[in-house]
Amino acid sequence: MKVVCQKVTKANVKVNNKIVSKISNGLLILVGFTTNDNQEKLNKMASKILSLRIFNDLSIKDINGEILVVSQFTLYANTSKGNRPSYSLALNHQEAKILYDKFCDILKESNLTIKTGIFRENMQVTLTNDGPTTIIIEN
């Protein structure tokens, strides 16, 4: 499991030129899954994200911020050979969808506002990165 966590003042996701989700003051999380990802890794990643002290030494929970979660299998792109990325390390979409939904459900247990993109859709993500603060977490 790999996550790109960005502190934002605002972010939104569009599909077909229509905003499907938007947040202010919080985190935009891009998440990708690979083989061997499981419930334990989902729990650990969610706990780490919810506890990151990146808001003036406070966590997203402390500031009651919002989270926008977007699936992004391209986080597992392998560019070591040639110019065309290989996505063979990315989990197949059927299994990834199950993990994505579980991951979002775990985050929702925090009682924060959790919004999502649309799994397997072509999305346009717009954000204002605050800081800029971007953290990559892998487990």
Q: 3-state DSSP call for residue 117? A: coil
Q: Which two tokens stand for residue 122?
A: 């072509």
Give every strand in the sheet of 2-15, ordered side by side: 113-116, 66-71, 18-32, 2-15, 124-138
To the query of whether residue 9 is one of the catalytic residues in this protein, the response is: no
Distance CA 69, CA 104 (A): 7
| Given 9, 35, 74, 126, the catalytic residue | 74
Strand 113-116 and strand 66-71: the pairing is parallel
Dist. CA 84–CA 20, nearest whole Å: 30
The residues annotated with a catalytic role in the active site are 74
